[in-house]
Amino acid sequence: MFGRRRVNDSLAHVGRIHAADRDTALVLARETHFRHNEAVDYAVVRSDQLHHVDDKSILERHVDIDYRLQAGYSGFRDKRAAAREAAERRGMTDLQTRPAPGRDVSSEST
């Protein structure tokens, strides 16, 4: 069973229903999963229509993939400040702050 909480929400899995066919599932789902105003829309898919990935080992990771995760960027501000200081100590004083994306640099210089 999938339900949509609000009109613009995506369908989200809410659980299962045991029923002999599609129509029975749709009639009974209202009370099984949506009896407390949980949804503005719902849908059912036969469980044998779900195609599971055969080789679940392809989900395993054996190397560090921190750079793909938000957690890999924690403390970024401090790291950047430290890098800047180190660069200045080495005399790299012309290190520029990059303009924020979308800012029109040419108009700023006037």
Q: How far is the CB of 35 from other proteins (least distance, A)?
A: 6
Contact map string, positions 20 to 39, toward other proteins, x by CB under 8 A:
x--xx--xxxxxx--x----
Q: How far is the CB of 74 from other proteins (least distance, A)?
A: 46
CB of 41 or CB of 85, closer to other proteins? 41
> Torsion angle, CA of 82/84/86/92, rounded to 10 degrees?
180
Contact map string, positions 41 to 60, toward other proteins, x by CB under 8 A:
--------------------
Q: How far is the CB of 49 from other proteins (least distance, A)?
A: 20
> Which residues bind to other proteins, rule: CB under 8 A?
17-20, 23-24, 27-32, 35
